[in-house]
Amino acid sequence: MMDGGVAMSKIDEIMKLLSEAKREADALGETILAYHIGTVLLAAQDVVLGGRGDQRPRR
């Protein structure tokens, strides 16, 4: 099993690759592909935030 630092490093690497792929899709005018890559990037950010990205703070 991966330790937390290694897993985060891998997630960061994946996010960089996805960001590059999204830029390329945007440059080629592939709007649907860019949209789906953006959706995956948002999901990856949610993982980095520990699944708390869509929750409102408690009062």
Tens of pLDDT, residue by residue over 29-51, are 999 999 999 999 888 888 777 76
pTM exceeds cut of 0.85: no
Is residue 18 pLDDT above 60, yes or no? yes
Dihedral angle over CA of 39, 15, 7, 42, nearest 10: -20
> 49: which 2 tokens?
């935030």
> 59: which 2 tokens?
């009062």
Q: What is the pLDDT of residue 50?
A: 77
Q: What is the pLDDT of residue 53?
A: 54
Q: What is the pLDDT of residue 2?
A: 57
Query: CA–CA distance from 18 to each of 5, 40, 45, 47, 57 (Å)?
Result: 20, 8, 12, 14, 29
* pLDDT band at 59; cut points 50, 70, 90: low
